[in-house]
Structure 1
């Protein structure tokens, strides 16, 4: 029993989830929007028609009753009814009026005494109501009591010759038939609204399905690409929106493919770079093992070569670890306010022995004091790589100039050299991992192809930018721009 109930719960949840998914769908929302657009104006129109019917019917009833009252009051004056309310003809007309309209009529003389009541309830009594008083003061009234379904009005009985007001005619008539007509109209309107809503719902569902077809094409194409069925880009130009979506997706897909190719190339390069020193060491070791009575000088030479290959392997691994650390979020930056002049002086001081051995002059130009919010370790690594590369790829007797300047928002570091330069076709690739312009020369001087990738990543993490200008055999200039105030955020 427990299993059965558990299965029922799971099935009900799945069904509810399916229904909820449809409710969240764009097709449902378009259908609902079309229904709302179709129903709301219909409701407004239906209410307007019913209200207009009621107002027009009430006004017509009031006008009819007032005309009847005008005729009656003229007869009252002519026949002297106010002095002798026993006139059978007039009383018969009163009864006929009240019977036709289902109402009540009272005649009140100038002493506020009721001399005629078609209901025979208040005859002989005084009638001192606000409406009667207003009528004696020359203000006839008409009002519609929607709640109790009647119209009440007062008509002054005035002598046409002397213009003297002899009394007041107080009339109330039923409006139940008006309410009944209104109810019938509302019922028909409600039925018509239900019919309209049903038609709009069906048409809206069909129309929304037609509108959603291009988006379904986009979804299927994306799913095919995700499942690996398609290698080419997708195109659904049915709507401007689907065209924009597919264009954006194609750009993203191109970027993903580029990253995947870059990842594969990176893995291949890492494997190659790590394998090369190991292969060299194995060849050297096999050479030693394959010989008997190896001279000590040769043994020392081979061991020195093996040591150099181990150092090279260690440098590659160190650079890879540095790159992995720099690939983390910018939140890992240890930001503090630093003196950039002192930082560059320290970088140059550390590299001066290398420059002296390469017969390269190292120059520092600081145009103004600069303090900025930076990660000292990462930027020191970046600037050290730039200056060290400028020394390594230079000519004997050459120079390297490090310049520092700033404005109100950024500080600028320029590393220029008189070295061998970079071919124009290679400028766009020098920041890629393991890319080297001249692999043989780079290997001779111990390059791993990771230095500039590390440098660029460290600068980008600071929300900075780096550009390179170079000409073969004339030298290279790297220009770095970094915000003085760290803005934060992920990179």
Structure 2
């Protein structure tokens, strides 16, 4: 076998595998196999029912004729004298009627008459015959031999004998004096079964063809809604439309379409957010550059400017450079936060100690702004977290609470925990957040008070970084604020990190 034939065989097998992976092919196979098996079951059920019924009817008829014959045998004393032409004629008629064989057996198991004429005066050893002699009507048997095509029936020959009981009264007693062993041919039943099988096979072939066509039709009809979904998705992918899909044919298609529309809506939102983000980044990076360009052009336009002007302008340019660097640093932090949770460096951390270190770093800023910064630890807390990322998140919240506070204000940090989560609550007496802005403060570059944010050096990225870090820890952050009175951030993080 050459390499080309090997590849051809592999491709052929892959095509077969792909066909059986198709839902359309599976529905077709399911319907077709169900119909085919049903046909086979009905076919064999009819044949078996007919055969059983036909055998039972033929057995009953033969037994009735044999009982009539048994009475005639007693009437004409055939067991003692077999010369009766009437009984002989009846025996031949019975044998010819059922295309079989009739044997008359006396109570000594001697065959006194055989319509075949080959076993007369011989002794027969048969369990059925012995049972019939002993039990009479209760011992009547019929055995169907489908392989050899006959029914063997035993019928007792009984006569009434008058005898006296223990009281001396005359009573009639039935006694078995012989057995009629009848072999009934079932060739006509077999012939009828063959005809039924041929007819049933022809009808079955027609039904299977109909089922085959119906299976193809049903599979295509049932999967048309899914084809419409596929075509609609391909149109959206190709950019021909961005409308929501509607295929309400089945509950399953409704669920698929609803999930896709939700995904599409989310993608639209993300795309709008991305465009807005790029616009904001461009604006935020362009503003310091524009300021530096204006300052530099002013200096270039005044070659004889005094040294003090140069110093003032260079200080302003340095501040703009620092602001540009801060924006870039925050953007890099945000990009890192947007990566998957697999980037977390999880370790077991003493959260009390971590919070103390964060507040220690921020206390100089608080003292500079005359803000009282306090820490209330309700209980020792140890958790599985990324210390660097979560420290940055908590630091951003506390730093904002300090910066956007009132003169002689306060910031309180409370650490608590239960058996599943630990909670860090940061409250302040600051300027507060308008109610219509509480849902927007985590958006990138969003500022409640743009003039004040620029004045204190904010980039509008801190809370976005904070939320990303908290979500990476499978946590949550809630905001409760009253304008002019203060704000409370509640951060909830699981004690154990689950991947």
Q: Report whether the alignment pairs 1:56 with 2:67.
A: no
Q: Which residue of 2 aligns with 1:153?
A: 153
Question: Following the alignment from structure 2 to structure 1, what is the Cα–Cα distance between the partners of residues 84 and 402?
Answer: 133
Deviations 1:419-442 (CA, angstroms, capped at 9, x unpaired): 111111111111111211222221
1:31 Cα deviation after fit: 4.1
1:22 Cα deviation after fit: 6.0
Check the 8 A contact 2:442/2:467 in 1, yes or no: yes
Deviations 1:223-276 (CA, angstroms, capped at 9, x unpaired): 222211113323334444444433332222111100111111112222222232
> Which stretch of structure 1 is more off in the superposition, 327-336 or 426-435?
327-336
1:350 Cα deviation after fit: 0.6
Q: Report whether the alignment pairs 1:253 with 2:250.
A: no
Q: Which residue of 1 aligns with 2:280?
A: 269
Question: Following the alignment from structure 1 to structure 2, what is the Cα–Cα distance between the partners of residues 141 and 99?
Answer: 21
Q: Report whether the alignment pairs 1:312 with 2:323.
A: yes
1:119 Cα deviation after fit: 2.4
> Which stretch of structure 1 is more off in the superposition, 100-109 or 68-77?
100-109
1:54 Cα deviation after fit: 1.2
1:407 Cα deviation after fit: 1.5
Deviations 1:98-150 (CA, angstroms, capped at 9, x unpaired): 23322222222222122222223332222122111111111121121223221
Q: Per the alignment, do residues 349 and 249 of structure 1 end up closer, same or farther by CA in structure 2, a change over 3 Å counting? A: same
Deviations 1:171-221 (CA, angstroms, capped at 9, x unpaired): 111212212212222222222222223223334444444444443333322
Q: Which residue of 1 aligns with 2:92?
A: 95
1:39 Cα deviation after fit: 4.4
Q: Which residue of 2 aligns with 1:120?
A: 117
Question: Following the alignment from structure 2 to structure 1, what is the Cα–Cα distance between the partners of residues 17 and 391?
Answer: 55
1:96 Cα deviation after fit: 2.8
Aligned counterpart in structure 2 of residue 440 of structure 1, from 451, 461, 472: 451
Q: 1:119-268 alignment to 2 at 5 Å?
A: 119-138=116-135, 139-161=139-161, 163-268=174-279
The residue matched to 1:159 in structure 2 has which SS? strand
Check the 8 A contact 2:32/2:215 in 1, yes or no: yes
Q: Which residue of 1 aligns with 2:166?
A: none
1:38 Cα deviation after fit: 4.3
Q: Report whether the alignment pairs 1:463 with 2:460.
A: no
Deviations 1:413-461 (CA, angstroms, capped at 9, x unpaired): 1111111111111111111112112222212211111111111111111
1:397 Cα deviation after fit: 1.1
Deviations 1:283-319 (CA, angstroms, capped at 9, x unpaired): 3333333332443333332222222222222222222
The residue matched to 2:160 in structure 1 has which SS? coil
Q: Root-mean-square deviation (CA), in Å?
A: 2.7
> Which stretch of structure 1 is more off in the superposition, 140-149 or 230-239?
230-239
> Which stretch of structure 1 is more off in the superposition, 234-243 or 52-61?
234-243
Q: Report whether the alignment pairs 1:485 with 2:496.
A: yes
The residue matched to 1:105 in structure 2 has which SS? strand
Report how many residues are paired.
484
Q: Normalising to structure 2: TM-score of the pair?
A: 0.89
Question: Following the alignment from structure 2 to structure 1, what is the Cα–Cα distance between the partners of residues 334 and 58?
Answer: 92
Q: Normalising to structure 1: TM-score of the pair?
A: 0.91
1:466 Cα deviation after fit: 0.3
> Which stretch of structure 1 is more off in the superposition, 139-148 or 442-451?
139-148
Q: Per the alignment, do residues 238 and 438 of structure 1 end up closer, same or farther by CA in structure 2, a change over 3 Å counting? A: same
Q: Which residue of 2 aligns with 1:385?
A: 396
1:391 Cα deviation after fit: 0.8
Aligned counterpart in structure 2 of residue 358 of structure 1, from 356, 369, 376: 369
1:161 Cα deviation after fit: 3.6
1:322 Cα deviation after fit: 1.6
Deviations 1:445-487 (CA, angstroms, capped at 9, x unpaired): 1111111111111111111110111122211111111111222
Question: Following the alignment from structure 1 to structure 2, what is the Cα–Cα distance between the partners of residues 316 and 68?
Answer: 113
Check the 8 A contact 2:95/2:101 in 1, yes or no: yes
Question: Following the alignment from structure 1 to structure 2, what is the Cα–Cα distance between the partners of residues 9 and 94?
Answer: 75
1:60 Cα deviation after fit: 0.6
